């Protein structure tokens, strides 16, 4: 699909861009956006701070690329689960759980992806044109498709609107993810004397959310 249309100069440029992103990624993964400074980054790759601006027009743009790559990872994993042929209920739960699992593996990435540090600038949202283009939007669409399937199956209540329910479900997934990301010791679980692992908590949460959608058959 992608032929070698790039000139040597373009390839070189792309390579250096990747080098910068790679160095940025390493710092970002450990210390987050705040810990990643242009000056430190420049030093790491033996460049002057100003040189970075020949490749990225701002720190935000650089960080945005790290975030998009990260969401690509989430999308891939969720997609893989969604395309399985396991029983529907189980598959739904696994989608939810996978999102949370993968997301919490890179806490700084996830936190930064939603907090443009101040509540304002964000990409397009559902309904707007560019939404399906972002990885975030694609992940949401997978979720909605899954719920629509459940409604058709009769597994989920017929009143639920997939688009609405998907947003609600997404918010809940997002919530646990954020909790784990922001409060490292969450969930501090000594529930009923038993110490539950984080994994078990995620599964409980996912189960709870799917239950809210299910039709009562019996």
Partner DNA sequence: CTATTTAAGTGAACAGTGTTTACTTTTTGA
Partner DNA sequence: TCAAAAAGTAAACACTGTTCACTTAAATAG
Among 27, 29, 44, 53, binds DNA (CB under 7 A): 53
Among 3, 5, 50, 188, binds DNA (CB under 7 A): 50
Among 2, 8, 158, 193, binds DNA (CB under 7 A): 8
12 or 80: CB nearest DNA: 12
Distance, CA of 117 to CA of 204 (rounded, Å): 30
Distance, CA of 138 to CA of 75 (rounded, Å): 7
CA separation (Å) from 6 to 10, 62, 65? Answer: 6, 22, 21
47 or 67: CB nearest a copy of itself: 67
With CB cut-offs between 5 and 8 Å by kind, which of DNA, a copy of itself, none does residue 13 bind?
DNA
For the record, the structure tokens of 74 come out as 């989430």
CA atoms lying within 13 Å on the CB side of residue 107? 13
143: nearest Cα among 108, 95, 111: 95
Backbone angles phi, psi at 94, to 5 degrees: -65, -35
By CB under 7 A, which span of 41-49, 109-117, 130-138, 208-216 interacts with DNA? 41-49
CB 70 within 8 A of CB 132: no
With CB cut-offs between 5 and 8 Å by kind, which of DNA, a copy of itself, none does residue 197 bind?
none
Strand partners, 156: 214
List interacting residues with a copy of itself (CB under 8 A): 31-32, 34-35, 107-108, 111, 114-120, 122, 125-128, 161, 163-165, 167-168, 170-179, 181-192, 196, 201, 204-205, 208-209, 211-213, 216, 218
**Environment class of residue 93 by beta-carbon count within 10 Å: exposed (0-12), middle (13-18) or buried (19+)?**
buried
54 or 182: CB nearest a copy of itself: 182
40 binds DNA (CB under 7 A): yes
By CB under 7 A, which span of 24-32, 55-63, 108-116, 191-199 interacts with DNA? 55-63
Contact residues toward DNA (CB under 7 A) are 7-9, 12-13, 16, 36-40, 46-51, 53-54, 57-60
């Amino acid at each position: 699909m992608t032929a070698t249309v790039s000139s040597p100069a373009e390839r070189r440029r792309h390579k250096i861009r990747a080098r910068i992103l790679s160095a940025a990624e390493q710092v970002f993964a450990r210390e987050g956006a705040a810990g990643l400074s242009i000056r430190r980054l420049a030093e790491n790759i033996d460049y002057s701070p100003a040189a970075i601006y020949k490749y990225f027009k701002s720190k935000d743009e650089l960080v945005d690329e790290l975030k998009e790559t990260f969401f690509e990872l989430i999308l891939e994993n969720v997609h893989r689960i969604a395309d399985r042929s396991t029983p529907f209920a189980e598959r739904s739960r696994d989608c939810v759980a996978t999102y949370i699992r993968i997301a919490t593996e890179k806490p700084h990435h996830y936190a930064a992806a939603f907090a443009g540090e101040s509540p304002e600038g964000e990409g397009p949202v559902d309904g707007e044109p560019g939404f399906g283009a972002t990885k975030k939007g694609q992940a949401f669409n997978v979720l909605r498709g899954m719920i629509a399937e459940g409604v058709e199956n009769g597994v989920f209540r017929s009143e639920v609107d997939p688009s609405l329910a998907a947003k609600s479900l997404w918010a809940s997934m997002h919530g646990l993810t954020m909790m784990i990301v922001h409060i490292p010791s969450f969930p501090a679980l000594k529930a009923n004397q038993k110490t539950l692992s984080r994994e078990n908590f995620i599964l409980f949460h996912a189960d709870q959310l799917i239950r809210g959608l299910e039709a009562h058959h019996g």
